Amino acid sequence: MIDAVIFDKDGTLFDFRASWGAWTEALIGALVARGADAARLEHLLGFDRRYRVFRPDSAVIAQTTPEIADLVHSAVTDLPIAELNDLMNRLAAEAPMQPAVPLRTVLQGLRDRGLSLGLATNDTEVPARAHLDGAGVLDLFDFVAGCDSGWGGKPAPGQLLAFSTAVGVPPERAVMVGDSLHDIAAGKAAGMATVAVLTGIAEAQELSPHADVVLPDIASLGAWIDARRAI
């Protein structure tokens, strides 16, 4: 029985390439204006500005904002790390998020099934809430956690276990939905069912050995949950 769903954000609710490509370009531009080398930043971030594509191992895909800041700081050592984090968070809050599906319709359909909804992201909490609010869906979430909310980041299960406690649903009756191996690992560590979607960078052959199921996107999630509930 599934009574609660916790989502990753980027690559799951929002199309990763369209949304975070713009953020990465803006960050590189801002740091180049401060004297950083563009080619070095592209290498560190695993991003090709010419083609707007991420390497599969890009830190932007799965690492937390502070981890990305630590990585990038080697290219802008004259910028205090706290200021770099603030810059990254401001640009993240302003980044244009492209929903992967009609979010309001899909998420409301899950709420109508009586499901509690949560968000666990390796982004920080303030930009995450801004993105959900900008998409008109923040009110549908019972729980929102970023990497700075006090429960760590994925692939550790802290955010997911906090969600379970907050909504009063045992982990074995919840599902983690994400687009990366970090998401699936967090779900398994928390004792939840795991659903992978293909609206991020990872492909089905990478995700399918680890997730309980791989779906094209979260629009297919309601039917999958209905089938699980019917067993």
User: What DSSP string runs through 46-96?
Assistant: TEETTTTEE-TT-HHHHS-HHHHHHHHGGG-TTS-HHHHHHHHHHHHHHS-
**Band of the pLDDT at 18, cuts 50, 70, 90?**
confident
Q: Measuring CA to CA, which residue among 143, 42, 139, 126 is closest to residue 91?
A: 126
Location of structure tokens 């045992």: 170
d(CA 231, CA 103): 27
Condensed to tens digits (0 to 9), the pLDDT of residues 168-214 reads: 999 999 999 999 999 999 999 999 999 999 999 899 999 999 999 99
> What is the third-level CATH fold of 4-15+97-230?
Rossmann fold (3.40.50)
> Average pLDDT of 98-103?
96
Residue intervals of the chain classified under CATH 3.40.50.1000 are 4-15+97-230
> Average pLDDT of 126-138?
96
**Band of the pLDDT at 56, cuts 50, 70, 90?**
confident
Average pLDDT, the chain: 94
Query: Is 231's pLDDT higher than 90?
Result: no
